[in-house]
């Protein structure tokens, strides 16, 4: 949470956007294209409460705007407003989509007298479906997207905590796809005959040549991403803790769901496969993108911890955001891996910043 004392242009721009917005409070759903490769399974409906309570504890404040992340509408998740608790001091509640992967609730409070409290708390009915894996004949035809547009390029480069161009990441990627030559036994050469001194010398030459130019596994794009997934799952031990970068996770060989996801995403991007983080209630997992023969893009989730689930999501969870490189109009100099809660406003002369309590809970 940040409180800005001299943010008149920012607040004015935001208020104009709020007043002219065509989004109706009860209509936060936007049309999404149906993905023929997205196979939805069983669905789960939960109630999710989100909002903010602002109190002018240090004197009056004006032009307060709170930004709160709310459940994200996407192909596998439907979000409907069930209940609203909005105090009289709140002038307007609106919603906006950020970078196609996050939704914020905007709470506008024109004025709060000293000691007053105002709040907007909304309860959503969230229906989230599991995602079944695609058929093998479908995955065999998928390719790495060609000529990615500006939006897709966000999921190919570096971002905070995801160092896809780091030398350790690239070295690990080469290691995953190298074909290791079979080692002959101590008393036999590779063709089964007794090894001679000349054989040893020729074998050494072959070994040196193989080391210099490693053979690469002939895999489809889907199989390459699956090999990356299995490598991460087999080489990173799940350990809860503070968020770590992809390189730190790779170096230490341990991490939580966020860290494992970040490493998988970094390796995918290093292999020119678009990938991103998916932020859900109390969890994080990755998605990767491949294209069909006609160039249509398809995103596939994978479980980061607890079970092996590649190209599918067997557990329905409340999805909050998809992505790890957001821009928020009120924070133009920052790139955010998560569009976090935020507060701006103007204190009346002699006053201090208000206190804010953000509400986010699954009922």
CATH number (domain holding residue 249): 3.10.620.30
| 62/176 same-domain check | no
Q: Which helix (H) or strand (E) holds 281?
A: none
Task: Identify the domain containing residue 336 by its residue range.
Answer: 8-131+325-362
Q: Measure CA 217 to chain center.
A: 29
Please report whether residue 269 resides in a domain. Answer: yes
pLDDT at 184: 57
| 121/148 same-domain check | no
Angle between helices 221-235 and 167-177 (to 10 degrees): 110
The Cα 304–Cα 287 span in angstroms is 10
Please report whether residue 144 resides in a domain. Answer: yes
| 39/64 same-domain check | yes
| 295/329 same-domain check | no
Window from 58-72, 168-182, 200-214, 282-296 with minimum mean pLDDT: 200-214
| 17/164 same-domain check | no
pLDDT at 279: 97
| 109/160 same-domain check | no
| 162/87 same-domain check | no
On the question of pLDDT at 200 being above 60, the answer is: no
| 121/142 same-domain check | no
On the question of pLDDT at 11 being above 90, the answer is: no
| 172/258 same-domain check | yes
Average pLDDT over the chain, rounded to an integer = 85
Please report whether residue 338 resides in a domain. Answer: yes
Please report whether residue 204 resides in a domain. Answer: no
Q: DSSP letter string over 290-348?
A: EE-TT--EEEEEB--SSS--BS-B-S---EEEE-S-B--TT-TT--BSS---EEEEEEP
Please report whether residue 168 resides in a domain. Answer: yes
| 64/108 same-domain check | yes
Q: Express as a percent the part of the chain with pLDDT over 70.
A: 80
The Cα 361–Cα 200 span in angstroms is 67
| 157/118 same-domain check | no
- Residue pair 17/70 in contact (Cβ under 8 Å)? The answer is no
Q: How many domains does the chain have?
A: 2
Contacts of 279 (CB under 8 A, 6+ apart): 319, 320, 321, 322, 338
Please report whether residue 188 resides in a domain. Answer: no
| 223/305 same-domain check | yes
Write the pLDDT tens digit of every residue in 309-354: 999 999 999 999 999 999 999 888 898 999 999 999 889 988 889 9
The Cα 140–Cα 106 span in angstroms is 44
The Cα 103–Cα 95 span in angstroms is 7
Write the pLDDT tens digit of every residue in 207-266: 444 444 556 668 999 999 999 999 999 999 999 999 999 999 999 999 999 999 999 999
Please report whether residue 192 resides in a domain. Answer: no
């Amino acid at each position: 949470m940040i409180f800005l004392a001299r943010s008149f242009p920012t607040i004015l721009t935001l208020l104009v956007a709020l007043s002219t917005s065509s989004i109706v409070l009860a209509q936060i759903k936007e049309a999404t294209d149906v993905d023929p490769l997205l196979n939805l399974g069983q669905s789960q409906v939960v109630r999710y409460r989100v909002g903010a309570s602002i109190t002018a504890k240090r004197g009056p404040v004006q032009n307060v705007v709170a930004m709160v992340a709310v459940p994200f509408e996407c192909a596998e998740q439907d979000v409907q407003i069930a209940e609203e608790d909005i105090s009289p001091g709140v002038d307007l509640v609106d919603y906006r989509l950020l970078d196609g992967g996050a939704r914020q609730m905007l709470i506008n409070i024109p004025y709060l007298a000293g000691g007053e409290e105002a709040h907007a708390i909304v309860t959503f009915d969230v229906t989230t479906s599991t995602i079944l894996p695609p058929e093998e004949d479908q995955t065999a035809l998928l390719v790495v997207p060609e000529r990615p547009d500006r939006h897709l390029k966000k999921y190919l480069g570096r971002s905070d905590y995801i160092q896809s161009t780091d030398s350790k990441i690239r070295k690990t990627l080469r290691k995953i796809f190298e074909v290791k030559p079979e080692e002959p036994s101590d008393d036999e050469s590779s063709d089964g005959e007794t090894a001679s001194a000349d054989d040893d010398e020729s074998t050494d030459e072959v070994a040196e040549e193989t080391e210099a130019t490693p053979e690469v596994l002939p895999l489809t794009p889907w199989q390459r991403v699956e090999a990356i997934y299995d490598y991460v799952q087999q080489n990173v031990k799940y350990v809860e803790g503070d968020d770590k970068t992809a390189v730190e996770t790779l170096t230490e060989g341990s991490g939580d769901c966020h860290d494992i996801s970040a490493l998988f995403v970094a390796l995918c991007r290093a292999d020119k496969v678009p990938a991103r983080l998916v932020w859900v209630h109390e969890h994080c997992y990755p998605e990767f993108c491949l294209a069909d023969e006609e160039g249509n893009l398809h995103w596939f989730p994978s479980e980061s911890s607890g079970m092996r689930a590649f190209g599918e999501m067997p557990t329905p969870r409340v999805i909050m955001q998809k992505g790890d490189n957001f821009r928020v109009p009120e924070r133009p100099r920052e790139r955010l891996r998560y569009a976090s809660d935020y507060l701006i406003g103007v204190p009346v002369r002699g006053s201090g910043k208000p206190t804010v309590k953000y509400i986010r809970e699954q009922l």
